């Protein structure tokens, strides 16, 4: 097997805030290296999932290997390891970073550093990566490269004096970036003859090849036919193929050796066996110890997913199983709701992860879903001394059995321009935040530090944050731990019947307000029916809010519009469509929309 | 010989006149202001469209007795509506009437809509000349401040004069439109309107409640919160007293918002509700012929362009095709069943089970049994077992859309 000189390998990733130009710079780098014809270039090589392109974010890390002929005449192998760009995927980011020696930090020449950039940058520095700052979008009229350089030096403490000023969009100064990668980012320096040791930074399921492990080799080498061992999960399998990443395709290789980034396929059926962060070694000659930093990712947010057509329950299960093949963080188990029938309680890394899965189920599997209010994991300490974890409000023990409850709290950092500090602090206060401190990053921008209950973040905190800062605030957070809290379960009764899918757990102080808003919202969402329908919010047996949907008394198209029957037909068809999207609860019909709309209560207050 | 006796099938004709002196604030019909030149161009185009249809229909209608088809085209009913047809000059209406008269006779129900503010003596003369035998007058209210709020161009006194003039000249089939739920209207003023109108003894009264439609001035006012709409309770009360009050004057409700003296139901409207063939001529008019629904262009300029020239036979089909907009649909059997139900149930006597079975070759209960039973239990539908008819109860009529939408099968 031909070994590639470690001195001619550079492994790095790109750190950037959303929209600061990560994918575009990656495209330019791939173009400049000349391995691809421009015809092969998709608009954005890295983001090749349909959904990602639409949302402008990268969900699953992808990686590309390119060959660069440097000014000194030598050829270098670059492995550009892509990282997901959202706080929900912090752990994945950290594992991608662990596979690199360096990182390119892209900062928007107009917007400067954002909270997320900062968080990822610190993460990179924590992993001892060499960070190479690059200032992008210098072609914008509002670009202020000098100010942004100062910012990088002041806030992060990186030397930005020779940071390339580039326009990834227009291909300006890209070569300077490539040269700095060679100059500044260290080459790998693993033990080529030691036992095989590699870190998994991603794994995907392919219908033909089975699980494909994306890994970075630190020591030793691996070849087809050898038996590999995943040290944390203990899974073993024979290597079927090894290879490297072309842009958008797999290029088989003779093997993988120290310093290389590539893939391994083995006879593995499930990504649960090949968890991100785990160490791969050889079964008959294992390395002494696993690489540090592995943890099994745990969902933070739960919600119920139900097919709107009950008959689609098996389809939903199949779809979730398929998605799970590729997404070790997705968890689900069957549950039943009186209101919604058969469905699944699913666990996600965060709300974005939830939304992505929901959208993929709807788009790729054509499922029409009803989602219940997202919930965090509550720790319920019972009077008998035991503790239960509750993710579904319906499973909350009887209040008489509860000694106290604890909820998860995060340390949040919010970066915001000075003018919005007040409104963001108000928001954090409203969401039961505990003020920790504030640092001015420079004259105009501040970093606010708060401890916030996770359940206050998962509803519509991002939206509220954006709308109250005209889109300028950015957020990063980390799990801090559990704190005792005065929590209650709020129930919604429609026509005196409890709708279990609308129950949720919240802080007692916000229960009245929320109960009132829920009732108001439901009143708008539930169409009038043949009789009067009371909508009530209750804590235990105590009613805290009430609205009434009056009985339908008039629904008539009096004028017949001449012979324009089509108009009449369209009206009735629309009404019929609306009826189809209703769910029957006893004698009341509730539109599915109602279940979703109560999750976004902040809309009205703006 | 009356041509109606030999007519091979019934056909109704609707003619749309899209002009108004001023648009009422609640109106979302296809109508606008126009100068006399535009109106003349429109009349010319309309006459050309009518003759294009004339050539097509005469060819397609087969006489079972001989091959000479001429004269067999016959209109059961003609309805000139708008807009305000009386916005046209009497001479223009005369030309339209003469074009139609070849295919009508005294058995034809020939209606024209008239705005009380625009009828002149010479209009009435033309009505007589072309065989118009039914007038539909929109008064809406007997209260002048309500009329003003609606943006009507006439007072109650204008209406009263027009009405008396029509009666004196021998018109004995007159409809009057009244409206409930006018902004600022009280139950008392509505009752007053109904009493005063009914006391005039018209043969037909259309009483409907104001619906604020998108695209109207009222809609905009509603969004801005400046529309002083009648509250729901009052609106319902108005609706309910209508039937009782008009009953005392000898009117019977025969459709959701239509009341008439015995035998004076509007045949033209009933044709719409019972799936009869009708041809719509003029801007944006809808037609239903041999199971096909279509609508003409709503683009005034385009309409004029298509029909500005009279084309001789053989070239007319293209003209007509060009005029039809995207709403061209050939009804499937399912569509026809749905329409049989949701149009037929608008009428108080409802739909006949045996007619359904004859027409579609399947029992009504087989298709709609569950829905019918559901609403029979809710007392929104009722069944007359003797005549085999299903009909909406008064309560069902109130929320007819809710019930009728369930007769859509898809």
Q: What is the per-residue pLDDT across A372-425, written as a single tens digit (0 to 9) for each?
A: 888 899 999 999 999 999 988 988 998 889 999 999 999 998 888 888 999 999
Instruction: Report how far apart, in Å, the C-alpha atoms of B366 and of each of B362, B363, B369, B373 are.
Output: 7, 5, 6, 12
Q: What is the CATH number of domain B335-405?
A: 1.10.10
Pick from A566, A573, A579: which is nearest to B286 by CB? A566
β partners of residue A380: A388, A405
Strands A445-453, A434-440: pairing is antiparallel
A559 touches chain B (CB under 8 A): yes
Is there a contact between B257 and A530 if contact means CB atoms under 8 Å apart?
no
Number of C-beta neighbours around residue A488 at 10 A: 19
User: Min CA distance, A51 vs chain B (Å)?
Assistant: 32
A563 chain-B contacts, CB cut-off 8 A:
14, 272, 278, 280, 285-288
How distant is the Cα of B37 from the closest Cα of chain A, in angstroms? 27
Which pLDDT score is estimated for A88? 67
Nearest neighbour of A572 by CB, restricted to B293, B399, B404: B404
- Determine whether the interchain pair A554/B399 forms a contact, defined as Cβ–Cβ distance below 8 Å: yes
- N-terminal to C-terminal alpha carbon distance within chain B: 48
Q: Please, what is the Cα angle at B18 between B17 and B21, to 5 degrees?
A: 105
Disruptive mutation site among B402, B406, B407 for chain A (greatest number of A CBs within 10 Å): B402
Contacts of A28 (CB under 8 A, 6+ apart): A168, A171, A174
- Position A52 scores a pLDDT of 40
Query: Residue-wise over B371-406: b if at least 16 C-beta within 10 A, else e?
Result: ebeebeeeebbbeeeeeebbbbbeebbbbbbbbbbb
Helices A565-580 and B333-344: angle between axes, nearest 10 degrees: 100
CA-based nearest residue to A414, from A382, A389, A434, A438: A438
Q: Does A584 touch chain B (CB under 8 A)?
A: no
Q: What are phi and psi of B347, to 5 degrees?
A: -85, 140
> From the CA of A552, how many Å to the nearest CA of chain B?
7
**Phi, psi for residue B170 in degrees, rounded to 5:** 100, 10
List residues bridging with A228 in a β-sheet. A237, A282
**Min Cα separation B405/chain A (Å):** 5
Beta strands B12-17 and B278-281, pairing class? parallel
Residue window 258-287, chain B: list those with CB within 8 Å of chain A: 269, 272-273, 278, 280, 285-287
Give CA separation, A151 vs A124, A362, A441, A442, in Å.
18, 43, 8, 7
Which residue has tokens 């087809």?
Answer: A224
User: Which residue is closest to B113 within chain A, CA to CA?
Assistant: A562
Q: Is the distance from CB of B97 to CB of B30 less than 8 angstroms?
A: no
Question: Would you call A235 helix, strand, or coil by DSSP?
Answer: coil
CB contact under 8 A, B288 and A563: yes
In chain A, the residue whose alpha carbon lies closest to the alpha carbon of B338 is A569
Give the chain B residue whose CA is nearest to the CA of A527.
B402
Task: Indicate yes or no: CB of A565 within 8 angstroms of CB of B211.
Answer: no
CATH fold label, B3-272: TIM Barrel (3.20.20)
Compute the distance between CA of residue A360 and CA of residue A353 in angstroms, rounded to an integer. Answer: 11
The pLDDT tens digits along chain B (410 residues) read 455 555 556 789 999 999 998 888 888 888 999 999 999 999 999 999 999 988 888 776 654 444 444 557 889 999 999 889 999 999 999 999 999 998 898 899 999 999 988 888 999 999 999 999 999 999 999 999 999 999 999 999 999 999 999 999 999 999 999 999 899 899 999 999 999 999 999 999 999 888 888 889 999 998 888 888 777 788 888 888 999 999 999 999 999 889 999 999 999 999 999 999 999 999 999 999 888 999 999 999 999 999 998 777 667 777 888 888 767 889 999 999 999 999 999 999 999 999 999 999 999 999 999 999 999 998 999 999 999 999 999 889 988 999 999 999 97
Of B29, B288, B404, the CB nearest to A565: B288
Q: Using alpha carbons only, give the angle B372, B375, B378 rounded to the nearest 5 degrees.
A: 155
Q: Does A573 touch chain B (CB under 8 A)?
A: yes
How many C-alpha atoms does A471 have within 13 Å on its Cβ side? 3
Q: Best mutation site among B376, B408, B409 for testing chain A: the one with the most A CBs within 10 Å?
A: B408
Helix axes B187-199, B232-248, angle to 10 degrees: 20
**Does the distance separating the beta carbons of A573 and B408 come in below 8 Å?**
yes
Residue ranges covered by each domain of chain B = 3-272, 335-405
**A562:B280 CB<8 A:** yes
Which positions of chain A have pLDDT values less than 70? 1-3, 18, 34-62, 85-88, 247-248, 442, 557-562, 599-606
| pLDDT computed for residue A20 by the predictor | 75
Closest CA to A190 of A2, A11, A63: A11
Per CB-CB distance under 8 Å, the chain B contacts of A572 are: 342, 401, 404-405, 407-408
Q: Distance, in angstroms, between A312 CA and closest chain B CA?
A: 19
Residue among A559, A562, A563 minimizing CB distance to B208? A559
Query: Strand (E) positions, B123-166?
Result: 134-140
Q: Which of B235, B280, B380 sits opposite A563 (nearest CB)?
A: B280
Taking the Cβ of residue B400 and every Cβ of chain A, the question of whether any pair is shorter than 8 Å is answered with: yes
Kindly report the nearest CA distance between residue B94 and chain A, in angstroms.
23
Tokens 């000189």 correspond to A5
Token couple for A329: 């963080």
The tokens describing A275, both together, are: 């968890």
Is B327 part of the contact surface with chain A (CB cutoff 8 Å)?
yes
C-alpha–C-alpha distance, residues A146 and A109, integer Å: 9
Say what the ipTM of the complex is: 0.89
CB contact under 8 A, A558 and B343: no
């Amino acid at each position: 097997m031909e070994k590639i000189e470690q001195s001619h390998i550079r492994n790095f990733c790109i750190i950037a805030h959303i929209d600061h130009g990560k994918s575009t710079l990656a495209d330019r780098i791939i173009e400049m290296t000349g391995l691809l014809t421009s015809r092969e270039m998709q608009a954005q090589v890295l983001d090749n999932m349909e959904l990602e392109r639409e949302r402008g974010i990268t969900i699953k890390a992808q990686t590309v290997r390119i060959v660069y002929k440097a000014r000194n005449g030598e050829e270098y192998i670059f492995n550009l390891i892509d990282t997901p760009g959202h706080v929900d995927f912090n752990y994945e980011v950290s594992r991608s970073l662990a596979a690199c020696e360096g990182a390119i930090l892209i900062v928007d020449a107009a917007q400067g550093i954002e909270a997320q950039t900062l968080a990822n940058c610190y993460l990179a520095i924590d992993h001892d990566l060499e960070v190479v700052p690059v200032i992008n979008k210098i072609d914008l009229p509002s670009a202020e490269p000098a100010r942004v350089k100062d910012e990088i030096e002041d806030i992060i403490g990186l030397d930005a004096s020779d940071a390339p000023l580039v326009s990834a969009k227009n291909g300006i100064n890209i070569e300077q970036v490539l040269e700095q990668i060679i100059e500044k980012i260290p080459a790998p320096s693993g033990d080529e003859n030691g036992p095989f040791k590699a870190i998994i930074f991603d794994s995907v399921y392919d219908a033909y090849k089975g699980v494909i492990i994306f890994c970075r080799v630190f020591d030793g080498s691996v070849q087809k036919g050898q038996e590999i061992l995943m040290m944390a999960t203990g899974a073993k399998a024979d290597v079927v193929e090894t290879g490297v990443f072309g842009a958008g395709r797999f290029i088989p290789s003779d093997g993988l050796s120290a310093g290389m980034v590539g893939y391994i396929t083995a006879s593995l059926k499930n990504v649960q066996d090949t968890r991100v962060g785990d160490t791969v070694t050889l079964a008959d000659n294992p390395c002494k110890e696993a690489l540090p930093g592995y943890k099994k990712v745990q969902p933070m947010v739960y919600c119920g997913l139900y097919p709107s057509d009950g008959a689609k329950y098996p389809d939903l299960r199949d779809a979730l199983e398929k998605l799970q093949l590729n997404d070790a963080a997705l968890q689900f188990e069957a549950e039943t709701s009186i209101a919604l029938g058969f469905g699944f309680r699913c666990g996600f890394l965060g709300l974005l992860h939830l939304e992505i899965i929901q959208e993929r189920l709807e788009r790729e599997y054509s499922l029409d879903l009803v989602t219940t209010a997202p919930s965090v994991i509550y720790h319920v300490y019972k009077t008998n001394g035991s503790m239960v974890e509750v993710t579904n409000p319906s499973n909350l023990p009887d209040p008489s059995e509860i000694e106290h409850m604890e909820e998860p709290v995060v340390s949040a950092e919010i970066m915001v321009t000075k003018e919005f500090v007040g409104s963001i602090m108000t928001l954090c206060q409203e969401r039961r935040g505990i003020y920790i401190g504030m640092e001015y990053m420079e004259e105009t921008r501040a970093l606010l530090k708060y401890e916030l209950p996770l359940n206050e973040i998962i509803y519509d905190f991002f939206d509220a944050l954006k709308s109250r800062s005209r889109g300028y605030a950015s957020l990063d957070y980390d799990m801090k731990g559990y704190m005792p809290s005065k929590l209650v379960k709020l129930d919604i009764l429609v026509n005196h019947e409890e709708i279990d899918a609308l129950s949720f757990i919240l802080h007692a102080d916000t229960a009245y307000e929320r109960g009132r808003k829920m009732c108001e919202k439901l009143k708008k969402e539930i169409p009038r029916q043949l009789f009067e329908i009371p909508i009530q919010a209750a804590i235990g047996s105590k009613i805290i809010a009430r609205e009434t949907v009056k009985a339908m008394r008039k629904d008539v198209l009096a004028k017949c519009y001449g012979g324009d029957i089509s108009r009449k037909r369209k009206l009735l068809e629309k009404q019929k469509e609306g009826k189809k999207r209703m769910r029957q609860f006893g004698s009341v019909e509730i539109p599915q929309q109602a279940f979703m709309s109560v999750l976004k209560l902040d809309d009205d207050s703006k | 010989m009356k041509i109606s006796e030999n007519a091979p099938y019934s056909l109704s004709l609707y003619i749309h006149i899209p002009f108004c002196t001023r648009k009422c604030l609640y109106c979302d019909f296809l109508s606008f202001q126009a100068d006399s030149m535009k109106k003349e161009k429109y009349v010319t185009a309309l006459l050309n469209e009518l003759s294009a249809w004339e050539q097509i229909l005469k060819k397609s209608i087969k006489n079972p007795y001989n091959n000479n088809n001429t004269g067999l085209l016959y209109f059961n009913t003609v309805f000139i509506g708008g807009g305000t047809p009386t916005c046209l000059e009497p001479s223009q209406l005369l030309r339209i009437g003469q074009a139609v008269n070849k295919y009508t006779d005294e058995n034809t129900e020939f209606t024209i809509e008239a705005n009380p503010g625009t009828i002149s003596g010479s209009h009435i003369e033309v009505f007589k000349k072309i065989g118009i035998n039914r007038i539909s007058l929109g008064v809406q209210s007997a209260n002048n401040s309500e009329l003003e709020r609606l943006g009507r161009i006439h007072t109650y006194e204008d209406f009263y004069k027009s009405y008396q003039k029509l009666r004196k000249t021998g018109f004995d089939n007159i409809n009057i439109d009244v409206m409930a739920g006018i902004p600022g209207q009280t139950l008392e003023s509505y009752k007053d309107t109904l009493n005063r109108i009914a006391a005039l003894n018209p043969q037909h009264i259309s009483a409907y409640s104001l619906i604020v439609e998108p695209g109207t001035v009222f809609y905009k006012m509603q969004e801005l919160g400046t529309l002083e709409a009648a509250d729901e309770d009052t609106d319902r009360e108005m609706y309910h007293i209508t039937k009782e009050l008009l009953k005392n004057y000898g009117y019977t409700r025969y459709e959701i918002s239509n009341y008439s003296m015995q035998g004076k139901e509007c045949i033209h409207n009933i044709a719409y509700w019972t799936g009869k063939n009708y041809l719509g001529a003029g801007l944006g008019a809808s037609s239903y012929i041999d199971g096909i629904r279509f609508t003409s262009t709503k683009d005034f300029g385009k309409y004029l362009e298509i029909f500005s020239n009279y084309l001789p036979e053989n070239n007319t089909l293209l003209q007509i095709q060009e005029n039809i907009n995207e709403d061209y649909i050939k009804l499937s059997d399912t569509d026809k069943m749905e329409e049989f139900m949701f149009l037929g149930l608008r009428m108080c006597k409802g739909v006949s089970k045996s007619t359904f079975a004859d027409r579609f070759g399947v029992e009504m209960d087989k298709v709609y049994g569950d829905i019918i039973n559901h609403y029979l239990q809710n007392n929104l539908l009722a069944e007359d077992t003797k005549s085999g008819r299903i009909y909406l109860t008064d309560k069902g009529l109130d929320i007819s859309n809710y019930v009728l939408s369930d007769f859509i099968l898809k």
